[in-house]
Amino acid sequence: MNKQLKLLLVLLTLSWQIQVSVQAADRALIIGITEYQNSKYNLPGIDLDVAMAEKVAKMLAFETSQTKTLTGKQASKKNIKKTINDWLINGTTADDRVFLYFSGHGGRLKDKNNDEEDGQDEYITAYDLGETAKQGGYIIDDELSMWLKNIPSQHKIVMLDSCHSGTATRGLKPSGQQMGQNVLYSKKHKFGQASTVNILSKGRVDKGQNSGFLDGHKNLITLAAARDYEAAQASEKGSLFTLGFFQALSKSTQDGSAASALDLVEQAGQFIAESLADDLDYIHKPLIFGDFQLAQKPLTTKPSRNSQGPNWLDLLKLSTSGKPMSASANKPVFNVGELIKFNLNIPTKGYLNIINVDAHDAVTVIYPNQFNPENRINAGTINIPGDLMAFDIEATKPAGESLTVFVITTKPLNLYKDSLNVRNGVGEFTETFAGVSQYAYRSMRVRAREQKDEIYTTAVKTSVK
């Protein structure tokens, strides 16, 4: 081999090494089984879990280009394995952070290699889940553990919103929440019983050991929705563990606190307990295991500030998605305590929703509200709040820019009634203003896509000093 050829090979090798180094970066992989090949396994609200997980990734400082999402047919076992290999194993280095999220059914099978204290292997399911264990479509904990062990990152977070045995659905009325039609859906799976409606059982509490996924791994923590013998709950408004974790992380990034994964899991557990306060048998306790030092460290997060939070960006996009209309505020800048008034030209009779996102990315439904829970309006010019509206809108901290978005739909849409944390166990409104859930975002997007429905949108920026 002559010197010139050797030099060329050296240069090509160096070029490849540099390219690999440049391509390696923080990586997030979000897997949501929004539908199964066999539709009898389908769960409601998984699309909302995916939307929340994508926002969780953003709040954890993963850029959109660093996040990959698998749903529907893309979330087959073969493609999950390939994506983990290509995206997380070959796509990261020891210095990169990795976030892996899963939402779907989980189950248990008899342990075949005697490495589980409880004699059971746990598994998560994929799009191509079969009728029997032999037909496949699921990932055993030993297999997932091996895949994740091969990821070179020294900072791995895995979040599993699934459970580990059986399957059932049961109607109930959770306390303090409005979960779709007041129905919770167990995320438990057991081969041969997926279409059978059973009374949900919490299982044997004496089997309290959680063999779990990845226990004891260094540089990796797993956040699990339920203990091995418990059923994680899903609903039409999202899965309870994901909802609780998302709300806790959102609050942390909004107020600038440095929360750890352990803090957030504990807060998610409180959310689940409060949501199911009247149905204690169905509470599932999330847990965290793996590298406990990593679990206690403050998470790397991206503060939701300066018009760059995920909610602000979502609502800004929404404000230009419909037919244009005009709105204005009584002044552009307000002192704390001053009253804000809006003037709005309504182009058609329909349903008015007003949403505000503040300088720290906290979202509030201003209208409708506890004092004006109905939101049907007629065409014309109106003032918000008007003389017949029994509420005021007061400028409050935090200081900085806020964005108020106005949405009019010709089909019924009431974000106040659709949002979480607004009603008590008997359906009474408990808060003056509501927060906007991912369910509410989905409702707005669905309305915008319907051909027979018209949607008008606009936005007004104001500042608080």
CA 452, CA 441: separation in Å to the nearest integer?
A: 19
Tally of domains within the chain: 2
Question: Does residue 302 lie in a domain region?
Answer: no
Per-residue pLDDT band at 236 (split at 50, 70, 90): confident
Residue 356's CATH number: 2.60.40.1930
Q: Taking all residues of the chain, what is their mean pLDDT, rounded to a whole number? A: 82
For residues 425 and 322, membership in a common domain is answered with: yes
Question: Does residue 61 lie in a domain region?
Answer: yes
For residues 288 and 341, membership in a common domain is answered with: no
Burial class (CB in 10 A: 0-12, 13-18, 19+), 103: buried
Mean pLDDT to the nearest integer, 383-405: 88
For residues 326 and 217, membership in a common domain is answered with: no
For residues 252 and 225, membership in a common domain is answered with: yes
* Residue among 153, 23, 144 nearest 89 (CA): 153
Mean pLDDT to the nearest integer, 358-376: 91
Enter the tokens of residue 187. Answer: 């995320």
For residues 279 and 194, membership in a common domain is answered with: yes
HEC string for 169-235? EEECCCCCCCCCCCEEEECEECCCCCCCCCCCCCCCCCCCCCCCCCCCCCCEEEEECCCCCCCCEEC
Burial class (CB in 10 A: 0-12, 13-18, 19+), 297: middle
Q: How, if at all, do strands 27-32 and 67-71 pair? A: parallel
CA 393, CA 372: separation in Å to the nearest integer?
A: 13
For residues 276 and 324, membership in a common domain is answered with: no
Question: Does residue 261 lie in a domain region?
Answer: yes
pLDDT score of 267? 94
pLDDT score of 111? 62
For residues 265 and 333, membership in a common domain is answered with: no
Question: Does residue 391 lie in a domain region?
Answer: yes
Mean pLDDT to the nearest integer, 201-224: 54
Distances in Å between the Cα of 80 and the Cα atoms of 133, 188, 263, 288, 325 are 18, 20, 29, 23, 44
Question: Does residue 179 lie in a domain region?
Answer: yes
Sheet holding 138-140, edge to edge: 138-140, 120-125, 106-110, 188-189
For residues 241 and 126, membership in a common domain is answered with: yes
For residues 326 and 202, membership in a common domain is answered with: no
Question: Does residue 7 lie in a domain region?
Answer: no
User: pLDDT tens across 11-22, in order?
Assistant: 555 544 444 444
Residue 128's CATH number: 3.40.50.1460
* Domain termination residue (choose one: 240, 265, 296): 296
pLDDT score of 281? 74
In this predicted model, which residue has the larger pLDDT, 302 or 165? 302
Enter the tokens of residue 455. Answer: 């949607």
Question: Does residue 431 lie in a domain region?
Answer: yes
Enter the tokens of residue 136. Answer: 């496949």
Which range marks the domain in which residue 446 is found?
A: 310-464
For residues 253 and 341, membership in a common domain is answered with: no
Question: Does residue 132 lie in a domain region?
Answer: yes
The string of DSSP letters for 312-349 reads HHHHHHHTTSSEE--EEES-SEE-TTPBP-EEEEE-SS
CA 28, CA 417: separation in Å to the nearest integer?
A: 33
> Beta-carbon neighbour count of residue 87 at 10 Å?
20
For residues 279 and 318, membership in a common domain is answered with: no
* Domain termination residue (choose one: 296, 323, 342): 296
* Domain termination residue (choose one: 249, 273, 296): 296
Specify the 3-state DSSP secondary structure of 458.
strand
For residues 286 and 322, membership in a common domain is answered with: no
pLDDT score of 204? 34
Mean pLDDT to the nearest integer, 220-244: 88
